[in-house]
Structure 1
């Protein structure tokens, strides 16, 4: 397989810039996620890596070879689309074997490779069926089979599970990750679903308006968001934000917010102005006594946990608490924050201030 390196990649469509100076590295054998909302530039980035779009500027290295201006056929890349892109007039066996036949492989080699791939994907019993009559999940397996049978340097996947229903999508995500682990393939995967990205990815690039907001492991991106966009986009419910005007000094470990002192990870840079205190719902506890008080306005039962919405002087906050903890709308409660997990943001730029929590993560952003 192959390492993929992107340097200052840019793509313009007339006056519109779809991707702005993106740089990142995909390790050999990594399952790499390009994540973001519609129109953020993730699919355009994937298509440039695959050679389906040529960059306006920048460099693309696959297996240490610069391929930025080479067509797709010279990059040894396999592409899996959301809508399967199968040949409807062929059966499963012919769809999978077609790339090998096009390469001039012998009948014996083609037969052996198709048998191996169909065994890996569990589709041996449908090889002679027409693809037009298959379920969405089976068609996706066939599309994957046609991609992996060539043993390319890397796989490009553009929301391949997007057309499946929610329950089967989760099942296929597990299968796809297990297949990746067995093959050790370099995979670049586009999705707008943050749960899918967190579940499957070794590394994630979060994009917004053509710009990389953050690059890192799923845990780093969730625990240590580099921007308010990432903090809001990742997580369900997303991070709570409390806005205030204040001043923090280098070495500070608390802030004064709405007449209440709140702990924060030790701040590494001084700042004065409009700030945002960010805290995940699971890091808020409800207590009977305390200074930071609010009124419960809603409680959403989720089985093992519940999401409680509390109205405070700084706005509504969501807390994730145990499902058996009493929480009734109309009750007044005190909120306790786990300040060691909080993130301070510059409200104007949206970027996180450097602290003990995110010092290393923000050093390369």
Structure 2
């Protein structure tokens, strides 16, 4: 397996820039997620790493070798597509063995390697069945088997579970992660599903409009979003934003929202103008004694918790509270915030105002 490093990667399609100045490193053996909405540049980035697209500028290193201008066939990688791309006239065995036959490997060695891969994926019993009649999950396993059998340096996966129904998709996500752990493979995985990324990934790159917004481990990205876009994209419900006009000085640990002073983490970045007080729903408490006020407009019961939507002087806000907390639509409520979990954003560029203790990793833009 291999470390993968990209430096200042850029891709232009005529006047349109799909990826701009992206840089990050995927360590040997990591399960790495490229996450973002449709059109953000994540699949184009993956295709440049795999050699299916050549970059306009920048470098791609696989196992220390610069391969940015080499075709996919010269990179010793395997690519798994969303739509499986199996040969419908072949059996499961024929599909998995095809890459080895193309390399001129002997029949005995091919049979051994196909058997080993089928055992790993739990598809030994269907090796001699045609792929046309298989379920979506079994066809995905065959596609994985065809990739694994080559012993590539890295696996590239472009939304490989996107064609499956929601329940089976969650099951296959667990299987994929377990398979990765057994093989200790370097895996790069594209998805638009933030839950899938948080569930499976060791590291995540969040992209938007061709730019890396943040790069890090899932917990840090969730707890300390580097930009307002990341805070909105990650989390269900997403982070709340109370917008206000104000100023915060370097090292200041309070802000004024209307007539109320609220605690925030000490910031080394000063800012003034249009700002946002960001807090996740689970870090909001309903507290009658709290000075900041809102009015309940809706509740959503979720079993052990409920989502309470409130109207405030600075915008709508959602709180995730225990389901046994009494809440009445139309009632006034005090709102208390976990100050150490608050993130302030300047709205001109959407960047977080960070202290050294919780500074995120910003990409370009």
Cα 1:74/1:362, change in 2 over 3 Å:
closer
Kindly tell me the number of residue pairs found equivalent between the two proteins: 364
Aligned mates of 1:271, 1:172 — CA distance in 2: 45
CA displacement, residues 95-146 of structure 1 (integer Å, 9 cap, x when unaligned): 0111111111111111111111111111111111111100000100000000
What secondary structure is seen at the aligned counterpart in 2 of 1:98?
helix
Q: CA deviation at 1:178?
A: 0.3
Contact 1:60/1:67 (<8 A) preserved? yes
TM-score by length of 2: 0.98
Q: Could you say which residue in structure 2 is the equivalent of 1:318? A: 318
Displacement after TM superposition at 1:290 (Å): 2.2
Judging changes above 3 Å, is the alpha-carbon distance between structure 1 residues 362 and 249 closer, same or farther for their aligned structure 2 residues? farther
Paired with 1:234 and 1:302, the residues of 2 have a C-alpha distance of 19
TM-score by length of 1: 0.98
> Does the 8 Å CA contact 2:43/2:158 hold for their aligned counterparts?
yes
Equivalence for 2:221: 221
1:226-245 aligned within 5 A: 226-245=226-245
Q: CA deviation at 1:328?
A: 2.1
Contact 2:309 2:318 in 1 (8 A): yes
Aligned to 2:259: 259
Once residues 308 and 363 of structure 1 are traced to their aligned partners in structure 2, the CA distance between those partners, rounded to angstroms, is: 32
Alpha-carbon deviation of 1:355?
Answer: 1.8
In structure 2, C-alpha distance between the alignment counterparts of 1:40 and 1:270, rounded to whole Å? 30
> What stretches of structure 1 of length at least 5 have no aligned partner?
none
Within 2, Cα distance between the matches of 1:357 and 1:326?
A: 36
Q: What do the CA deviations read for 1:40-63 (whole angstroms, capped 9, x no partner)?
A: 000000000000000001000000
Gaps of 5+ in 2: none
2:208 equivalent in structure 1:
208
The yes-or-no answer on 1:127 pairing with 2:127 is yes
Q: Distance in 1 between matches of 2:195 and 2:296?
A: 28
Name the residue aligned to 1:86: 86
Following TM superposition, by how much is the alpha carbon of 1:191 offset from its aligned partner in structure 2, in angstroms? 0.3
Q: What secondary structure, in the 3-state scheme, does the structure 1 residue paired with 2:90 have?
A: coil
Deviation at 1:239, TM superposition (A): 0.3
Distance, in Å, in 2 between the alignment partners of 1:107 and 1:50 is: 29
SS in 2 for 1:111: helix
RMSD of Structure 2 on Structure 1 (CA): 1.1
Matches of 1:136 and 1:364, distance apart in 2: 37
Q: In structure 2, what is the Cα distance between the partners aligned to 1:37 and 1:269?
A: 29
Q: Describe the superposition over 1:139-196 as per-residue Cα deviations: whole angstroms up to 9, x where unpaired.
A: 0000000000111000000000000000000000000000000000000000000000
Give deviations 1:54-104, integer Å, cap 9, x for gaps: 000100000000000001100001000000000000010110111111111
Runs of 4+, deviation exceeding 3 Å: 362-365
Equivalent-residue separation in structure 1 for 2:228 and 2:298 (angstroms): 25
Aligned residue for 2:140?
140
Task: Tell me the distance in 1 between the aligned counterparts of 2:256 and 2:287.
Answer: 20
Asked if the contact 1:341/1:357 (under 8 Å) is kept, the reply is no
Q: After TM superposition, give the deviation of residue 364 of structure 1 in Å.
A: 7.2
Secondary structure class of the residue paired with 1:205: strand
**Does the CA contact (< 8 Å) of 2:226 and 2:352 recur in 1?**
yes
The answer as to whether partners of 1:213 and 1:227 remain within 8 angstroms in 2 is yes
Q: Is the 8 A contact 1:224 1:357 kept in 2?
A: no
8 Å CA contact retained: 2:82, 2:160: yes
Secondary structure of 1:328's partner? coil
Q: Output the CA distance in 2 between the equivalents of 1:108 and 1:304.
A: 56
Moved more, 168-177 or 318-327: 318-327
How far is 1:357 from its partner? 4.7
Instruction: Give yes or no for contact 1:265–1:357 (8 Å, CA) kept in 2.
Output: no
The residue matched to 2:100 in structure 1 has which SS? helix
Q: What does residue 109 of structure 1 align with? A: 109
Of 321-330 and 207-216, the range deviating more from structure 2:
321-330
SS of the residue aligned with 1:241?
strand
Matches within 5 A, 1:8-157: 8-157=8-157
Structure 1 residue 356: deviation in Å? 4.7
Give the SS at the match of 2:352.
coil
| In structure 2, C-alpha distance between the alignment counterparts of 1:32 and 1:257, rounded to whole Å | 39
